[in-house]
Amino acid sequence: MREQMLKSILSDLNGASADIEASAVISSDGLTMAAILPQDVDEDRVGAMAAAMLSLGERTARELARGDLEQVMVKGEYGYILMSHAGKDAVLTVIARKDSKLGLILLDAKRASKAISEIL
């Protein structure tokens, strides 16, 4: 039931912008709670890595006096990976294309995070 609700939020998110290729909700322990990811992606690996990135981001932000973490962004040759908190114990991961309009994606992700945190 909860997974269905999370999936529907992810599906809305992925549909909100053609720039968003995939997304997932991950617990802070790195377990995938719901995901709409390409078939060849290993959910366990992505889950653990995204949760690890967010934790490290949080630590680094605090260490360097940047306050509470809002998001972690990874930019690669072929696009972006955005990770942000969705409530206290979950991570929203969004995978976006290379030439994405980041501002819009961040807004959509923020909205989705809020909806997710209300369910969890």
Partner 1 sequence: MLHGTYVSADDIQTFINVADFSETDRQHLQDLAPVAREFVPELTNLFYVRLLVDPVTSVYIEERIEELKPLHMDWLMDLFSGNYDEAFVARQEAIGRAHVAAHIPAYFVAASMAFLRSMMPSMIEEKSQALGRANCGEWVGSVLRLLDFCQFLIDRAYEEARMDRLVQATGMTRKLLENLVMLKAKEKKKPASDAG
Q: Which is nearer to partner 1, 71 or 104 (CB)?
A: 71
Residue 45 touching partner 1 (CB under 8 A)? yes
According to DSSP, residue 32 is labeled E
Cβ(108)–Cβ(92) under 8 Å?
A: no
Asked if 58 is part of the footprint of partner 1 (rule: CB under 8 A), the reply reads yes
We find the least distance from the C-beta atom of residue 68 to partner 1, in angstroms, to be 13
The one among 5, 16, 48, 104 contacting partner 1 by CB under 8 A: 48
Q: Which is nearer to partner 1, 16 or 49 (CB)?
A: 49
In order of 3, 11, 58, 90, the CA distances from 118 in angstroms are: 13, 17, 22, 11
Alpha-carbon dihedral sign for residues 23, 29, 30, 33: negative
d(CA 65, CA 36): 34
Options 11-19, 54-62, 77-85, 107-115: segment touching partner 1 (CB under 8 A): 54-62
What residues make contact with partner 1 under the rule CB under 8 A? 28-31, 42, 44-45, 47-49, 51-52, 55-56, 58-59
